[in-house]
């Protein structure tokens, strides 16, 4: 018997609190002082504007569009690859069958 195991007590951690709602987060941000460290960090990193610039919105929109188009193309290619895999599997089975038939004829 391990001596250390007698002294170990199981620690029960408290459950996690529910995450704040959007309204609670907005209220918290609204009550924050202008010199709150979060706002000073955002200013230093150039992220202090509440809305992205129009150019940023357009760039992100184009990136999203390209992502969706690429995702659609990938899904199409995936479907073709699955079909080709099935055709190759069927061709392999047919080849094995033909080889067995040829072997049976030569014996």
pLDDT tens digit sequence for 70-100: 999 999 999 999 999 999 999 999 999 999 9
pTM to 2 decimal places = 0.42
Highest mean pLDDT among 55-59, 71-75, 103-107: 71-75
Distance CA 14, CA 87 (A): 56
C-alpha torsion 32→37→38→43, nearest 10: 110
């Amino acid at each position: 018997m391990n001596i250390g195991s007698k002294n170990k007590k199981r620690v029960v951690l408290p459950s996690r609190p529910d995450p704040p709602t959007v309204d609670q987060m907005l209220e918290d941000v609204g009550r924050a002082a202008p010199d709150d460290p979060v706002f000073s960090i955002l200013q230093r990193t150039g992220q202090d504007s509440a809305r992205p610039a129009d150019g940023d919105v357009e760039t992100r929109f184009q990136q999203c569009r390209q992502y969706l188009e690429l995702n659609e193309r990938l899904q199409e290619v995936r479907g073709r690859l699955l079909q080709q895999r099935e055709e190759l599997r069927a061709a392999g089975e047919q080849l094995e069958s033909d080889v067995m038939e040829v072997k049976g004829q030569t014996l």
